[in-house]
Amino acid sequence: MSRLKELRKYVDAELNKMEDEEKRNSAIVHLYGVSLAATMIANKRGMNWEIASMAAMLHDLYAYKTGSYDDHAHKGAELADEILKELKLTDEAETEMICSAIYHHDDKLVTDSPMDEVLKDADVIHHCMNDMSKDIKEKEQARFDKLCKEFGM
């Protein structure tokens, strides 16, 4: 089984514990949607798509598990670190890269490391394109415009 598939199996089991069906469905759609977008963006930029995709699968898990978005990026990075150490799918450098991306993913107005930026951009792509009839959040507009240019949209 691929590392990504193994991680997804773990995440699926965690999400299945969510009692609210609507919230559970949107959690699944979001994590898999951001994972696909992260793979696409990482590929386009010549970066490690597998690490990007794994970071995406974990990036909001803390919020879904606890029901709270309060400091969810920083707390989510801690949770991801625990999960990755338990699953032993990644080496130390990979775990660090994934956790850094999750730690910074809510800081959409600043630029961080290239892998951090892949996750932020993938999150924005999903927020903005999962339902294009919805208004784009002000803090995501500039990043979305830049992505549209990069991808010729």
Binding stretches for Fe ion (CB under 5 A)? 60, 123
| CB 53 to Fe ion: min, Å | 14
Residue number with CB closer to Fe ion (50 or 127): 127
Is 20 exposed, middle or buried, given 0-12, 13-18 or 19+ CB atoms closer than 10 A?
A: exposed
CB of 33 to Fe ion, least distance (A): 9
Pick between residue 117 and residue 123 the one whose CB is nearest to Fe ion. Answer: 123
CA dist 117 and 120 (Å) reads: 5
DSSP string, 8-45: HHHHHHHHTT---HHHHHHHHHHHHHHHHHHHHHHHHT
Q: For the CB of residue 123, give the shortest distance to Fe ion in the complex, in Å.
A: 4
Question: Would you say 34 or 84 has its CB closer to Fe ion?
Answer: 34
Closest contact distance (angstroms) between CB of 88 and Fe ion is 25
Nearer to Fe ion, 72 or 95 (CB): 72
**Secondary structure (DSSP) of 65-116:** HHS--TTHHHHHHHHHHHHHHHHT-S-HHHHHHHHHHHHHTT-TTS---HHH
